[in-house]
């Protein structure tokens, strides 16, 4: 059923409006030069960085999750920080491999659907939008309903900055009122070229089941092993700071502390010195009862500070407590403290030696978090190597807080808000999401026979600089967003195409030519009114 002019817009049509506009922008953007892309990305990153504090405060206020100063750091890392990380990398210019007689021509994905979570909302918007623009893709942001206002506003800010820097209108869009039917329509539409799904297991499974290419990530449940060779004082400081970082809403935060018995008492003392409260058996049980009342995580604790959680659980702790540490005895699925907590609560188990610690970490990851990440504090490379080989994860942070370690903020891993869990975690992505994952390369391959020479390609590029603005996206006359004289949009586009043709020696007044272009434009617009 087609939409009625000035009437309600159906969900499929609403999705179609956004995706058709994005496809229009993506087609134009795909011809931009490396210089154009650098200019646009820098403008977007600069405006994101300038508003990092505003959106950190807004995200905490809207969701109730996390710590403002920590979200500021994530917002900055996912704006100008990305420029620094990928400085000098080119995802636009064709690459010539002379020795292999191969030329690689980049091909943008097209339209990226970016699903963003409530826990790391604006940082993920910044991250996914900038990665999409680096690779000349259009992006439609679908925020989590709990963070829709801050995310939608942030996406609109980035969209304006991109267009003002010369990007096509519609290159960045955002869903103002996300609903399950609308998100499903966006995911299942053939005009969506790839889905970036960051969120709960249900969201990721829906993305993979949409019929479109998807890059989804699995949940975390990070074990951290502290062996007898670790610098205990430094380790305690790093553990508490990492577990308290943004109140543990990053999926890379430590979930279960596994410590060798020989250094356990010392580690407990040092952690208490820097802000941890290590609970006794009775208080640990009160914490279990509050956090896992029916065997599942009480979502009220997500992103809340340790003092609030302790108060709600009926546990007395000091006002400056940053982390609650709850000891347990056996790493089995029936033990609630072995599961992901998304809050500054750390389960703790003692083990007799490093080998048993590694086996315990394997058990934790089998319960949840396969493919995600793990951490270890040790000065023994043999133990670190065995840990990485035996625990089924794809990133292991060493002697660093894992919240910022596996996410690339405090290591040289790619900085990311999207952690790939690979085959073991049922994900198509096995590393931290990077720009290279949003572009394919068409490879021109010459005969390998040395007698068959490959001509010179150096300096050749099919793209060109865009110094003039791209024509506005033409809206259908029955679209409420169209100007009252909507047909002039089409005529202006035809005039512009005609003028370009005239500059090449053809007549811009050729009626047959104008009619041919009009038919092409009308065919494009027909997608907008299909309900």
Question: Using H for helix, E for strand and C for coil, what is the string for 451-495?
Answer: CCCCCCCCCCCCCECCCCCCCCCCCCCCCCCCCCCCHHHHHHHHH
**Band of pLDDT at residue 476, cut at 50, 70 and 90:** low
Question: Where is average pLDDT lowest: 254-258, 378-382, 410-414, 516-520?
Answer: 516-520
Residues, the chain: 531
Buried/exposed 351-363: b ≥16 CB within 10 Å, e otherwise: beebeebbebbbb
What average pLDDT does this structure show over 382-399? 98
Give the residue numbers annotated as catalytic, written as ranges.
Answer: 251
What average pLDDT does this structure show over 466-471? 69
Question: Where is average pLDDT lowest: 151-160, 169-178, 250-259, 503-512?
Answer: 503-512
Question: Where is average pLDDT lowest: 152-161, 216-225, 431-440?
Answer: 216-225
Residue 287 sits in the same domain as residue 382: yes
**Band of pLDDT at residue 530, cut at 50, 70 and 90:** very low
137 domain-assigned: yes
Q: What is the pLDDT of residues 222-267, one digit of tens each?
A: 999 999 999 999 999 999 999 999 999 999 999 999 999 999 999 9
Question: Which one-letter DSSP state was computed for residue 305?
Answer: -
Residue 186 sits in the same domain as residue 235: no
Question: Where is average pLDDT lowest: 215-224, 237-246, 470-479?
Answer: 470-479
**Band of pLDDT at residue 137, cut at 50, 70 and 90:** very high
Q: Is pLDDT larger for residue 177 or for residue 490? A: 177
473 domain-assigned: no
Quote the tokens at residue 76.
């900055």
Quote the tokens at residue 22.
């994005």
What's the rounded Cα separation, in Å, for the pair 191 and 238?
A: 45
Residue 196 sits in the same domain as residue 237: no
Question: Cα–Cα distances in Å, from 304 out to 22, 165, 241, 283, 327?
Answer: 37, 39, 15, 18, 20
Residue 156 sits in the same domain as residue 17: yes
Question: What's the pLDDT score for residue 3?
Answer: 40
What average pLDDT does this structure show over 397-411? 96
Q: Which helix (H) or strand (E) holds 423?
A: none
Geometric angle at alpha carbon 466, from 464 and 469, rounded to 5°: 155
Question: Could you tell me what percent of the chain has a pLDDT over 70?
Answer: 86
Q: Is pLDDT larger for residue 497 or for residue 34? A: 34
Average pLDDT of the chain is: 89
Residue 212 sits in the same domain as residue 324: no
453 domain-assigned: no
Residue 385 sits in the same domain as residue 519: no
Report how many domains make up the chain: 3
Residue 210 sits in the same domain as residue 231: no
Query: At 151, is the secondary structure helix, strand, or coil?
Result: helix
CATH number, residue 355: 3.40.309.10
Residue 160 sits in the same domain as residue 228: no
For the chain, the C-alpha Rg in angstroms (whole number) is 26
Three-state SS sequence of 311-352: HHHCCCCCCCCCEEEEECCCCCCCCHHHCCCCCCEEEEEEEC
34 domain-assigned: yes
334 domain-assigned: yes
Q: Count CB atoms within 10 A of the CB of residue 471.
A: 17
Question: Which one-letter DSSP state was computed for residue 171?
Answer: S
**Range of the structural domain that residue 499 is part of:** 487-529
Question: Cα–Cα distances in Å, from 230 out to 180, 260, 380, 530?
Answer: 48, 10, 8, 63
56 domain-assigned: yes
408 domain-assigned: yes
Contact predicate 341/249, CB 8 Å: no
Residue 192 sits in the same domain as residue 244: no
450 domain-assigned: no
Question: What's the pLDDT score for residue 187?
Answer: 95
Per-residue pLDDT at 477 exceeds 50: no
The β-bridge partners of 325 are: 278, 346
Question: What's the pLDDT score for residue 520?
Answer: 55
Contact predicate 212/188, CB 8 Å: yes
Question: Could you tell me what percent of the chain has a pLDDT over 90?
Answer: 79
CATH number, residue 437: 3.40.605.10
Residue 251 sits in the same domain as residue 135: no
Contacts of 413 (CB under 8 A, 6+ apart): 395, 405, 406, 407, 432
**Rounded to the nearest 5°, which phi and psi values hold at 247?**
50, 35
What's the rounded Cα separation, in Å, for the pair 78 and 99?
A: 37
Q: Is pLDDT larger for residue 517 or for residue 299? A: 299
Question: Where is average pLDDT lowest: 315-329, 355-369, 395-409, 417-431?
Answer: 417-431
Residue 199 sits in the same domain as residue 230: no
Per-residue pLDDT at 71 exceeds 90: yes
Query: At 197, is the secondary structure helix, strand, or coil?
Result: strand
Question: What's the pLDDT score for residue 518?
Answer: 56
Residue 405 sits in the same domain as residue 285: yes
Question: Cα–Cα distances in Å, from 399 out to 64, 224, 229, 320, 327?
Answer: 31, 10, 11, 25, 22
Question: Cα–Cα distances in Å, from 488 out to 5, 468, 494, 496, 528?
Answer: 18, 20, 10, 12, 18
Contact predicate 392/365, CB 8 Å: yes
């Amino acid at each position: 059923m087609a939409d009625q002019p000035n009437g309600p817009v159906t969900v499929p049509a609403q999705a179609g409006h956004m995706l058709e506009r994005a496809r229009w922008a993506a087609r134009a953007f795909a011809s931009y030069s490396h210089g154009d892309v650098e200019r646009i990305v820098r403008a977007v990153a600069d405006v994101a960085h300038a508003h990092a504090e505003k959106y950190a405060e807004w995200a905490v206020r809207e969701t109730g999750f996390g710590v403002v100063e920590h979200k500021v750091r994530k917002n900055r890392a996912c704006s100008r920080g990305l420029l620094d990380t990928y400085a000098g990398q080119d995802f636009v210019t064709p690459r010539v491999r002379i020795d292999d007689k191969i030329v690689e021509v980049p091909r943008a994905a097209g339209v990226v659907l970016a699903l963003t979570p409530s826990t790391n909302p604006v940082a993920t918007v910044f991250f996914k939008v900038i990665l999409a623009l680096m690779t000349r893709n259009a992006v439609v942001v679908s925020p989590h309903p709990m963070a829709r206002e801050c995310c939608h506003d942030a996406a609109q800010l980035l969209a304006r900055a991109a267009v003002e820097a010369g990007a096509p209108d519609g290159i960045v869009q955002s869903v103002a009122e996300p609903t399950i039917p609308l998100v499903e329509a966006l995911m299942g539409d053939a005009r969506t070229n790839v889905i970036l799904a960051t969120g709960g297991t249900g969201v990721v499974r829906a993305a993979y089941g949409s019929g479109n290419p998807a890059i989804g990530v699995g949940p975390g449940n990070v074990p951290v092993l502290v062996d007898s060779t670790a610098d205990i004082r430094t380790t305690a400081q790093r553990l508490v700071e990492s577990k308290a970082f943004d109140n543990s809403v990053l999926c890379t935060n430590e979930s279960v502390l596994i410590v060798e018995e020989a250094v356990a008492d010392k580690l407990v003392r040092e952690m208490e010195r820097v802000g941890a409260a290590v609970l006794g058996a009775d208080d640990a049980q009160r914490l279990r009862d509050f956090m896992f009342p029916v065997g599942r995580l009480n979502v009220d604790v997500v992103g809340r500070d340790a003092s609030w959680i302790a108060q709600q659980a009926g546990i007395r702790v000091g006002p400056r407590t940053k982390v609650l540490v709850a000891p347990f005895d056996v790493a089995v699925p029936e033990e609630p403290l072995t599961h992901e907590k998304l809050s500054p609560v750390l389960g703790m188990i003692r083990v007799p030696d490093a080998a048993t610690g590694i086996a315990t970490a394997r058990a934790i990851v089998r319960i949840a978090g396969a493919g995600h990440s793990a951490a270890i504090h040790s000065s023994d490379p043999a133990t670190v190597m065995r840990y990485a080989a035996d625990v089924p994860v794809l990133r292991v942070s060493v002697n660093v807080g894992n919240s910022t370690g596996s996410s690339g903020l405090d290591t040289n891993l790619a900085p990311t808000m999207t952690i790939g869990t690979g085959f073991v975690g049922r994900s198509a992505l096995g590393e931290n999401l990077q720009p290279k994952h949003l572009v394919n390369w068409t490879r021109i391959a010459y005969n390998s026979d040395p007698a068959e020479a490959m001509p010179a390609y150096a300096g050749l590029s099919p793209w060109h600089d865009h110094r003039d603005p791209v024509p506005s996206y033409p809206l259908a006359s029955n679209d409420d967003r169209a100007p009252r004289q909507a047909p002039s949009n089409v005529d202006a586009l035809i005039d512009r195409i005609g003028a370009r043709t005239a500059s090449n020696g053809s007549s811009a007044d050729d009626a047959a030519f104008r009619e041919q272009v009009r038919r092409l434009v009308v065919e494009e617009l027909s997608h907008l009114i299909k309900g």
